[in-house]
Amino acid sequence: MLEWSDCESVLKSKAMFMNRTTRSLVLLLSAAALAAWCAPAQTLAATNALPPPRPTNPSDLFPDTVLAKGKGVEIKRSRLEEEVIRTKGQYAAQGRPIPPEQTPLVEQQILEGLIQFQLLLAKATPADKLSGKEFAEKKMEEAKTQLGEERLNQQLKLANITRAEQVSQWADKLAARNMLVRELKINITDENVKKFYDDNPAKFEQPEMVRASHILLLTNDPNTRAELTKEQKEAKHKQMEDLLKRARAGEDFAKLAKEFSEDPGVKQNGGEYVFSRSDPLVPEFKTAAFSLNTNQVSDIVTTQYGYHIIKLTEKIPAKKIELAKVSDRVKEDLISEAVQKQLPEYYQKLRKEADIQILDERLKPREGPAGPPPSPPPRPADTKSGAKSE
């Protein structure tokens, strides 16, 4: 199974191994896709995203009628509305609100996704479900250890989901994924993994990276995102000048960061991050970090988020990542690719056997066969603060 120990590497390897643009439910069923929810320990965390409101009970607004049914499948209006609200909230939190005119299409696709998922989960065995539950609980504990209780709760709030709901969703997705691997007779061997690794050397090149710590003083209100007044900014800049003097005088940079930095990730990592030139950081921050010598402290760097001082602790040369470090993730990608190839035909078979009927005319697909739902946007945990560009 996919290792959870390096969320940032998982995210990067996903992008390197497979440049998928096809929106498919298989991305939700893949264990590798679960890592996308996790906030990387070495990525600057979000400070300026407001959480969407929790949805009201849809049954209070509409009759809770059955929208789709079939053998082993029943989707009610309340279930669809809950997912539509959640999806819109996630996109809005990413700064990409769904236009009203696209709502009917989104509803159709989400309904089809709910149907698909019920059909797949119905085929899962008790062993599939038990394995999924154990995996999900373990990963939630690891996320709590990595992020810390407060940070984890923030990410769950941004994702508009409770901890129990998240664990349940992970467990169901893993159960469905395990079922698909078994039913579709997918077998990815070590030889398959090594062949992919050998045939794609460029995909496993790790670029030059730096290990750097920063102290951030925000120039906007983290709750309202409103810009501070000129006087408040001047006070922040004066405070940063004092911190810069202390850092250059030899005070422990990590201790200064933990005491004064307004980057929420500082409680877990002391303000330290590892990143490459290609990582999505604001240019001013990235340029300053790569221009430093080892153990040098930068001047005050101004970005859209506020004032930073940066200390470079290590320059990491470019290298090829060893097979042993990526084999599990490569295997998961190859499994996901194999599942994706067979899933459409297999799903249509299940749909026909279950005699699925969509009872609301507005929600019936207008053209072609029913397809999978759209992938959700990256979890809010994937957005960065401090140095992340928008």
Ranking 51-60, 280-289, 299-308 by mean pLDDT, the lowest is 51-60
Domain 7-200+322-382 identical in fold to domain 208-317: no
Mean pLDDT of the chain: 80
In this model, does residue 390 exceed pLDDT 80? Answer: no
Provide the pLDDT for residue 367. 55
For the 208-317 domain, the top CATH level (class) is alpha beta
Domain positions in the chain: 7-200+322-382, 208-317
Tokens of 299: 């001047």
Question: If you average pLDDT over residues 95-114, what whole number do you get?
Answer: 91
- pLDDT tens-digit map of 333-378: 999 999 999 999 999 999 999 999 999 999 987 654 444 444 433 3
In this model, does residue 327 exceed pLDDT 70? Answer: yes
Confidence band of 150 (pLDDT split at 50, 70, 90)? confident
Q: How far is CA 220 from CA 144, 163, 232, in A?
A: 28, 29, 10
- Coil, strand or helix: which one is 159? coil
Confidence band of 56 (pLDDT split at 50, 70, 90)? low
Question: If you average pLDDT over residues 63-90, what whole number do you get?
Answer: 90
Q: Who's near 100: CB < 8 A, 6+ residues apart?
A: none
For the 7-200+322-382 domain, the top CATH level (class) is mainly alpha
Confidence band of 32 (pLDDT split at 50, 70, 90)? very low
Please give the helix or strand (H or E) that residue 311 lies within, else none.
Answer: strand 306-316
Q: How many CB atoms lie within 10 A of CB 42?
A: 17
In single-letter form, the type of residue at position 94 comes to Q
More confident residue, 94 or 40: 94
Question: If you average pLDDT over residues 56-78, what whole number do you get?
Answer: 79
Secondary structure tally for the chain: helices H, strands E: 14, 9
